[in-house]
Amino acid sequence: MEQAGKIAVTETSIEVKGVRLQTQAFGDPSSPPIILIMGMMASMLWWPDRLCEELAACQRYVIRYDQRDTGLSTHYPQGAPGYSSGDLAHDVIAILGGYGLETAHVVGMSMGGFVAQEVALRHSRYVRTLTLISTSPLAVEGLPSSTKAYQEHSRAAETVDWSSSEAIAAFLLRDAAMLAGTRHPHDPDAASALIARDMDRAPSFASATNHFALVGEEGPARLRVADIRQPVLAIHGTADPLFPVEHGEAFTKVVQNGRLHRIEGGGHEIHERDIDEIVRAIVDHTA
């Protein structure tokens, strides 16, 4: 066990059906649990340490983890993931079981927000509340697409040499800049340091591109965000170039118990200067 300030931090590897899931927990295990699900190609390191520590300091037991094909969790051959979004949702339940937890508040960002919605729909009894950051509601049509600039950048992923660490790092650095909001200046040095830390930690980074296949797969028609009954908080930047803020607003229109917290000028990111605001919103929602 380490200490982050006065916050206890433990690291645990959980096995589920031959899959290793690397997890890290912050705070007092007797506090209300929150599990954090990060987005595409991103390990748990993309949940800022300070966000985890501040949530724990507010009497929450915070668990973050590496999804499959990221960080220290199980990696698959590039182009052959061998798992579905449903498996990623079940991983959340396996982690709760590994920690001896019957329920938790579930927080998902971007692709992790899709996984979080699937957890609530497939495994409803385990979910106390949902917080969905910079994501889009399942089975809601007519929402605006990404900005043209981000679409052009995204298409460039097809030309990246995923066998080259330098090419991967350069693409991810461009991606971080493209996803930045307008409220605060983008910090390329901080982004570069996080990307390097993430890449150095993973035994294979190219396999994280397997997440692209999950976005393209056909989801079961029965999974609709309108069927979620838990309280839902959408946290969304008003300058998000990937999912424009209308995606966050949609949760308040289709979910029975949905609220929206706007990050004015926020992008598709958890900016260092927005952490205090995001923590307050999550703590209030999970009270």
Q: Which amino acid is at 107?
A: V
Average of per-residue pLDDT across 22-34? 98
- Reduced to 3 states (helix: H, G, I; strand: E, B; else coil), residue 202 is coil
Model confidence over 236-263: pLDDT tens digits? 999 999 999 999 999 999 999 999 999 9
Helix (H) or strand (E) holding 188: helix 188-201
pLDDT of residue 236: 98
Contact between 279 and 261 (Cβ < 8 Å)? no
Model confidence over 213-222: pLDDT tens digits? 886 555 555 7
Per the rule left: phi > 0, alpha: psi between -120 and 50, beta: everything else, 260 is beta
CA 280 to chain centre: 18
- Residue 98: CB atoms within 10 A of its CB come to 17
Name residues whose C-beta falls within 8 Å of residue 155's C-beta, 6 or more positions apart in sequence: none
Please give the backbone phi and psi of residue 22, each rounded to the nearest 5 degrees, phi first: -85, 130
Helix (H) or strand (E) holding 64: strand 61-65
Contact between 258 and 232 (Cβ < 8 Å)? yes
Average of per-residue pLDDT across 86-104? 97
Q: What distances in angstroms separate CA 286 from CA 25, 127, 190, 262, 283, one per listed residue?
A: 17, 11, 30, 17, 5
Model confidence over 114-162: pLDDT tens digits? 999 999 999 999 999 999 999 999 999 999 999 999 999 999 888 999 8
Name residues whose C-beta falls within 8 Å of residue 147's C-beta, 6 or more positions apart in sequence: 241, 244
pLDDT of residue 157: 84
pLDDT of residue 220: 53
Nearest to 215 by CA among 148, 142, 276, 154: 154
Please name the residue that has the structure tokens 């930690």. Answer: 201
Sign of the C-alpha dihedral, residues 6, 274, 33, 202? negative
pLDDT of residue 5: 55
Contact between 178 and 149 (Cβ < 8 Å)? yes
Residue 1 pLDDT level (bands cut at 50, 70, 90): very low
Walk me through the domains of the chain, giving residue ranges and CATH numbers. Answer: 2-285 (3.40.50.1820)
pLDDT of residue 214: 82
Query: Angle 148-155/165-179 helices, nearest 10 degrees?
Result: 170
Please name the residue that has the structure tokens 């929206």. Answer: 260
As a whole number of angstroms, the distance between CA 148 and CA 141 comes to: 19
- Reduced to 3 states (helix: H, G, I; strand: E, B; else coil), residue 82 is coil
Q: Is the pTM of this model over 0.85?
A: yes
- Residue 259: CB atoms within 10 A of its CB come to 15
As a whole number of angstroms, the distance between CA 272 and CA 61 comes to: 21
As a whole number of angstroms, the distance between CA 225 and CA 146 comes to: 20
Model confidence over 41-62: pLDDT tens digits? 999 999 999 999 999 999 999 9
As a whole number of angstroms, the distance between CA 68 and CA 131 comes to: 21
